[in-house]
Chains A and B, each alone.
Chain A
Amino acid sequence: TQLLEQSPQFLSIQEGENLTVYCNSSSVFSSLQWYRQEPGEGPVLLVTVVTGGEVKKLKRLTFQFGDARKDSSLHITAAQPGDTGLYLCAGEQVSNFNKFYFGSGTKLNVKP
């Protein structure tokens, strides 16, 4: 079983639509990261959240860390074709410092 569950697994939307990706767990994390990955490349870090209830914005992307630090969401406003890619969440457990556990990923396709 996966420590972090991401949903949905696949998302295909039209340019201009909004979307939300979820990352859920029954475990508590000291920090949680979101990455975007292009085919054949390594993941690129988008944001890190560390405080329960924290909200961070990166242009059209909004990231939220759950109050209990067990879940997170990524919301994209007015998606563009350049947002296409694999979105991954990763958490560092409170009890396992220095180890990062990844979700299964959400494959986003934004059609022009």
Chain B
Amino acid sequence: SQTIHQWPATLVQPVGSPLSLECTVEGTSNPNLYWYRQAAGRGLQLLFYSVGIGQISSEVPQNLSASRPQDRQFILSSKKLLLSDSGFYLCAWSQGVEQFFGPGTRLTVL
């Protein structure tokens, strides 16, 4: 069966510091991968998605970037965090009409 992992689970970072969030998927190959951000109790905003290694589509201009160095690994990064980057970050995978989500990372920028 397929599983998706995200780490860290929580992160507190100062403004201006770098960021690296990691997502890995097991039990499938060549999945589509996604990064979302969620404000408290609200819907999900699509940040990036990838249909293959090295192929990244950005949905909104922002302070973040994404990379897919391996088939089942998706990384969300920033060189300098802003206060507005705080939120709940979710990674997801799909191979068709359904998406499956990881447990999320709670990021607080102080």
A→B interface (CB under 8 Å): 2, 4, 6, 30-31, 33, 35, 40-45, 48, 50, 86, 88, 90, 92, 98-105, 107
Contacts and interface: CB of A to CB of B under 8 A. Distances in A.
Given A33-B99, A40-B104, A98 B42 contact: no
Closest 9 CB pairs of A and B: A42-B101, A31-B97, A102-B44, A102-B43, A104-B43, A105-B43, A43-B101, A42-B104, A48-B98
A33 B97 contact: yes
Nearest to A101: B46
B98 A99 contact: no
Contacts of A107: 41
Contacts of B97: 30-31, 33, 48, 50, 92
Given A41-B104, A42-B101, A88-B43, 16 more contacts: A6-B43, A33-B97, A40-B104, A40-B106, A41-B103, A43-B90, A45-B98, A50-B97, A88-B44, A90-B44, A102-B36, A102-B44, A102-B46, A104-B42, A104-B43, A105-B42
Which has the most chain B C-beta neighbours within 10 Å: A4, A31, A50, A99?
A: A99
> For chain B, which range describes its interface: under 10, 10 to 19, 20 to 34, or 35 or more residues?
20 to 34
Nearest to A39: B41
A99 B88 CA distance: 20
A44 to B, nearest CB: 8
B55 to A, nearest CB: 11
Given A48-B97, A48-B98, A99 B46 contact: yes
Contact of A100 (B51, B88, B99, B102): B99
